[in-house]
Amino acid sequence: MVYSLAVRFLRDRAVAEELSQDVFLRCYRQLHLLESEAHVTAWLRRAICHRCIDEARKRKLRPKVDLDAMPELAARSGDSDVFLHGRLRRMVAALPEKARMMLLMRYQEDLDPLEIAAVLEMPVSSVKSSLHRALTALRGKFARVEVAK
């Protein structure tokens, strides 16, 4: 879960591995404070989300690699539109960091807005409105691309 969130958010396997290792090391050092398996899972999610957002902000100051250079991680079915996946990936990558992380947690990790709010330490209403705005923005961008065809 930790590595998966990091690699999907950052689109850089090496950095995702580094951040994941750092988060697990911090978790090991904090293990005596963590009360249950659910607490550990929540702590790991929160830690990797915050580290990924911090890394994305650093990248804005010093960009490295184009997101299109990363290979597709998900298995593709034979009849899927290859260009659709690439466009969608670029559109999601263009979203602000928190909105992108919320979409990943909602649709990759299958967390509900209440769980996302707990991970990002923000009100549930803010998570819901941010998810709604992000999806509306993606739909609008996608519709403009489809009309331009």
pLDDT for res 145 = 64
pLDDT for res 100 = 87
Nearest Cα to Cα of residue 97 among 69, 65, 134: 134
∠ CA 63-16-74, nearest 5°, is 100
Given a cut of 60, whether residue 71 has pLDDT beyond it is no
Euclidean distance between CA atoms 26 and 108, whole angstroms: 24
The full DSSP string for 21-36 is HHHHHHHHHHGGG--S
All residues at 6 or more sequence positions from 85 whose CB lies less than 8 Å from its CB, including other chains: 72, 74, 76
Domains along the sequence of the chain with CATH: 2-148 (1.20.140.160)
Q: What are the tens digits of pLDDT across the range 82-131?
A: 556 777 788 888 888 888 889 888 888 889 999 999 988 999 999 999 99
Q: What are the tens digits of pLDDT across the range 6-40?
A: 998 888 899 999 999 999 999 988 888 888 888 88
